[in-house]
Amino acid sequence: MRASGTCWEITTGVVVELVEIKIRIEMNTFWDVDIIVAICAIVVSILGIGLGVYFNWKTLKITINHNRKSVRPALKFDRAFDELNFEIDHGLKNSGTGPAFITKLLFFYDNKEYKSLAFLLSSNISVYHSIVKQSKSIESNFDDREVIASSDYQNIYKSSFIENKYMFEIKKILRRTEIYVEYESIYEEKYFMREFINTSTKIVL
């Protein structure tokens, strides 16, 4: 009987130990799988957020670039000499797709800077005041950040003369006069233009 009892105890102990080992294995296996799943979920979430931020940033950048191009100004100096009616008409035309904000408008003659075309002419033509008395002249004053809308024209200087000789005196000076304009887009992108007021460029007959 004693041998039988001892055998039973050994068998019971082995079974209990095997059950405990099985439970530990199952618990370890469970925790390993759970941790792996959690890590994978975190990684997938981080990748999803990263990709979402990246594509949103790319979309925003494309949209901003498109908007900037769709409202880009392009100023051109427009010159006209009407030899038949003795008239001069100079101005700025915005051929772009957005408004132009004028930040600087200057004229240069013999390396000297002038803020007014009328003052430039009066400083370099001895008989200018006599010419003015015999003509009708209009000069526009450009305020700080003067706006020229898309497709709009802004006059700079316009004169009409009673005789061609007065017009000829003005044209002699304008051949050596440069116009310089700085302007910005609605996004404050900076542009500039500089060119000669060349009387032979555009003739209106």
Q: What is the pTM of this model?
A: 0.64
Domain count of the fold of the chain: 2
For residues 118 and 40, membership in a common domain is answered with no
For residues 48 and 141, membership in a common domain is answered with no
Q: Which two tokens stand for residue 142?
A: 């450009």
Determine the residue type at 147: V
Q: What is the pLDDT of residue 185?
A: 94
For residues 151 and 92, membership in a common domain is answered with yes
Q: Which two tokens stand for residue 80?
A: 């006209």
Q: 143 is in which domain, residue-wise?
A: 72-196
For residue 125, count other CB atoms closer than 10 A to its CB: 17
Q: Is the pLDDT of residue 113 over 90?
A: yes
For residues 98 and 171, membership in a common domain is answered with yes
Instruction: Rank 24-33, 59-68, 96-105, 196-205 by mean pLDDT and report only the highest.
Output: 96-105
Q: Is the pLDDT of residue 49 over 80?
A: yes
For residues 76 and 164, membership in a common domain is answered with yes
Q: CATH number of the domain that 162 lies in?
A: 2.60.40
Please write the tens of the pLDDT for every residue from 57-69: 777 777 777 677 7
Q: Are 118 and 137 in contact (CB under 8 A)?
A: yes
| CB burial string 38-53: b at 16+ within 10 A, e below | eeeeeeeeeeeeeeee
Q: Is the pLDDT of residue 97 over 60?
A: yes
What is the rounded average pLDDT of the residues 187-195?
91
Would you place residue 202 in the very low, low, confident or very high pLDDT band (cuts 50, 70, 90)? very low
